């Protein structure tokens, strides 16, 4: 492999934000500085790349942002980059800035964008999995997942207090469009009475059986993944059909799960993957995602980073056990 010396890395965050992105930026900036490599931030993802919206990264400022949620580089989705003209404009802006490698923090859409970009340019590109859904293969955990679960748990614990005060049934919708990981981890971690996820087809049947025997002197907590095939509103109507006596409330946690200070685990994961991405670029790697598998750094080619990371048999077994 002929390794072309890298002198200037461009780094950006893309798609949905996730806690720990700033830690990843800091890890990358520190690694680049150690190697004497310039690193420049690209604001607003592919949109900023097209517009030439660059930002000098201050290593000291990033060090002070490790504890902050969101991303100092902002993030966006870009329809313009899906078209060849947008990609050519982005390449021109990168060339004008003399950027000769890219690091992207995002999800599968971001990595697919980089794969398409690689067809018109030879800039090496490394990805970092930044999504709270934990729905990508190539890493045991994605950046922001641990924080999102902890946020969900804190809120579910608070909802349980009021549920028990009024003996109510609460349906709590958590994020997870294609994956039930947040629902499983937060549901089990809070002792939920029911957990509904996209990957399971019989969890709803078990819930209805439980609701039939529900007595109004008890509280009932049900955690529903937003990607569940029924949806929280339909689940609510079916519960009322089975047991019209229930005093039922729906709470959607929503984007609060994306915000807040990243957990210790996400800060460490971000720093590790940021540094690993720089090392991979300098080693001549390209079109691959840096991840951690069994606590070891790993690279997975973009075309093998599959979305809808399936819930394994162990978690499925736990789900069935505790849903009964």
Residue (of 112, 133, 116) closest to 304 by Cα position: 112
Residue (of 68, 56, 67) closest to 11 by Cα position: 56
Distance between terminal CA atoms of the chain? Answer: 55
Active-site residue 135, yes or no? no
**Among all chains, which residue has been given the structure tokens 């720093």?**
271
Question: From CA 126, how far away is CA 9, in angstroms rounded?
Answer: 11
Classify 178 in phi/psi space as left (phi over 0), alpha (psi -120 to 50) or beta.
alpha
Q: 17, 100, 108, 133: which is the annotated catalytic residue? A: 133
Residue (of 117, 126, 140, 112) closest to 279 by Cα position: 126
Known catalytic residues are: 133
């Amino acid at each position: 492999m002929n390794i072309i010396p890298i002198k200037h890395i461009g780094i950006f965050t893309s798609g949905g934000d996730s806690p720990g992105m700033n830690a990843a930026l800091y890890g990358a900036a520190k690694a680049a500085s150690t190697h004497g490599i310039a690193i420049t931030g690209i604001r607003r993802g592919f949109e900023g790349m097209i517009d030439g919206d660059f930002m000098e990264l201050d290593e000291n400022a990033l060090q002070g942002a490790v504890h902050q949620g969101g991303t100092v580089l902002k993030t966006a989705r870009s329809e313009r980059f899906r078209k060849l003209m947008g990609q050519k404009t982005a390449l021109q802006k990168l060339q004008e800035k003399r950027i000769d490698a890219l690091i992207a923090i995002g999800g599968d859409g971001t990595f697919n964008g980089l794969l398409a970009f690689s067809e018109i340019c030879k800039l090496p590109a490394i990805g970092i999995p930044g999504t709270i859904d934990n729905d990508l293969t190539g890493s045991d955990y994605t950046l922001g997942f641990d924080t999102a679960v902890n946020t969900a748990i804190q809120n579910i614990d608070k909802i349980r207090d009021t549920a028990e005060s009024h003996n109510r049934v609460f349906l709590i919708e958590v994020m997870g469009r294609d994956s039930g990981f947040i629902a499983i981890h937060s549901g089990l971690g809070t002792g939920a009475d029911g957990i509904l996820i996209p990957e399971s087809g019989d969890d709803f049947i078990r819930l209805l059986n439980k609701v039939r025997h529900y007595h109004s002197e008890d509280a009932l907590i049900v955690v529903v993944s937003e990607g569940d095939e029924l949806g929280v509103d339909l689940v609510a109507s079916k519960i009322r059909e089975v047991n019209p006596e229930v005093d039922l409330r729906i709470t959607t946690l929503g984007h609060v799960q994306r915000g807040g200070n990243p957990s210790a685990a996400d800060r460490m994961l971000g720093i590790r993957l940021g540094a690993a991405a720089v090392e991979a670029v300098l080693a001549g790697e390209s079109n691959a995602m840096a991840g951690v598998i069994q606590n070891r750094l790993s690279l997975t080619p973009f075309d093998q980073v599959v979305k809808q990371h399936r819930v394994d048999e162990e978690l499925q077994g736990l789900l069935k056990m505790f849903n009964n």
